[in-house]
């Protein structure tokens, strides 16, 4: 059985990894780090692994923690399209060969919590148009369909063609109405997704609910351009642009705190307002406390 020390390290490790693994580009690796990202870290890491991966020193202090609290995210391969093309090329092959639907980013728990928030705040009775930006294998959107949302009111976009192929293939394999969920290739930082038929007249301002699970995290790891501009800087404004008045934006992140998300998405440039947050497990270490993931919902005033 794990000792309290090991459990303590595990809790800290989970939180620290939530704030640092993407920044360091470690989540593509094997072992405990990958375990955490796939399924939510549940004290599966032993002390030795935690020390090796996170740089805990002998007295239990963790310099990686300080690194992860820095405001500037170092660019990494996770901020490149090539990385995601490679990921989804492999996942598509795996699905075709052995039926593996691929990664559940941030674990099943994150999907459950997002769906619960949506059911409470944007009920299916309103028949909302729903967009996920960076929809990967579509797992969040399939969960919404299972929760009673109309599949042909749901759309996922991703800039990786193989992610879109994978999501479509998974949808078709389910044998229910999941194949009616629309998946399309779109680089959200440079193009707007096509509206669903019923909302076509609204142009790009077509969505009652926009979702992000790990996509802004990935965008934030891209390199700055030649004039020092970061591509992800445009993201909050673009989210606000596609939301209908009265619409909501819900984001789950492992790289930003709730305060950082609020600052980036609710400001004069976006005109979005803070709505609510989803509580994720907390940790405390060295007198500070934090969350494994951050999730904040925003509202566009009517
Ligand atoms: C961490 S994965 C999360 C995938 C999915 N949301 C999930 O939870 O399974 C990040 C996703 O964002 C996508 N992505 C990154 N930048 C993007 C962009 N500019 N436009 C559209 N998709 C993007 C990647 O291809 C990848 O599918």
**Domain coordinates in residue numbering, the chain:** 4-70, 78-299
Count of beta carbons in the 10 Å neighbourhood of residue 77: 12
> How many CB atoms are closer than 10 A to CB 136?
27
CATH class of domain segment(s) 78-299? alpha beta
Mean pLDDT, rounded, for 266-278 = 97
Do 73 and 231 form a contact (C-beta atoms < 8 A)?
A: no
What sign does the dihedral 142-150-215-192 (CA atoms) show?
positive
Range in 25-39, 71-85, 177-191, 242-256 the model is least confident about: 25-39
Contact 91 CB / ligand 1 (< 6 Å):
no
188 lines ligand 1 (CB under 6 A): yes
Ligand 1 pocket member 101 (CB < 6 A): no
Look up the pTM and report it: 0.82
> Measuring CA to CA, which residue among 119, 165, 120 is closest to residue 145?
119
Report pLDDT digits (tens) over 127-156: 999 999 999 999 999 999 999 999 999 999
Dist CA 134 CA 213 (whole Å):
8
Taking each helix axis from N to C end, the angle separating 107-121 and 139-146, rounded to the nearest 10 degrees, works out to 50
Q: Do the beta carbons of residue 145 and residue 154 sit within 8 Å? A: yes
Q: Is the pLDDT of residue 3 over 50?
A: no
Is there a contact between 251 and 296 (Cβ–Cβ < 8 Å)? Answer: yes
45 lines ligand 1 (CB under 6 A): no
- Tell me the pLDDT tens digit for each residue of 235-259: 999 999 999 999 999 999 999 999 9
């Amino acid at each position: 059985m794990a000792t309290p020390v090991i459990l303590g390290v595990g809790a800290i490790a989970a939180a620290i990894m939530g704030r640092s693994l993407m920044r360091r580009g470690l989540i593509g690796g094997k072992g405990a780090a990958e375990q955490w990202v796939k399924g939510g870290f549940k004290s599966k890491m032993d002390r030795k692994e935690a020390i090796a991966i996170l740089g805990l020193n002998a007295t239990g202090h963790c310099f990686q923690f300080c690194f992860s609290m820095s405001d500037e995210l170092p660019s990494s391969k996770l901020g490149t399209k090539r990385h995601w093309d490679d990921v989804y090329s492999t996942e598509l092959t795996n699905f075709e060969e052995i039926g593996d639907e691929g990664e559940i980013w941030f674990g099943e728990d994150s999907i459950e919590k997002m769906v619960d928030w949506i059911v409470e705040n944007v009920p299916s009775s309103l028949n909302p148009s729903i967009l996920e930006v960076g929809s990967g294998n579509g797992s969040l959107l399939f969960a919404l369909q299972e929760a009673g949302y109309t599949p042909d009111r749901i759309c996922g976009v991703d800039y990786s063609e193989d992610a879109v192929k994978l999501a479509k293939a998974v949808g078709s394999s389910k044998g229910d109405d999941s194949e009616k969920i629309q998946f399309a290739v779109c680089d959200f930082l440079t193009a707007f997704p096509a509206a669903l038929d019923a909302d076509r007249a609204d142009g790009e301002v077509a969505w009652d609910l926009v979702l992000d699970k790990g996509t802004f995290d990935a965008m934030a790891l891209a390199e700055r351009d030649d004039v020092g501009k970061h591509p992800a800087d445009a993201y909050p404004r673009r989210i606000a642009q596609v939301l209908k008045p009265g619409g909501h934006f819900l984001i789950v992140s492992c790289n930003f705190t709730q305060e950082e998300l609020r600052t980036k998405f609710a400001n004069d440039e976006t005109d979005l307002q803070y709505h609510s947050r989803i509580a994720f497990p907390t940790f405390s270490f060295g007198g500070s406390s934090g969350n494994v993931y951050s999730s904040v919902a925003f509202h566009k005033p009517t």
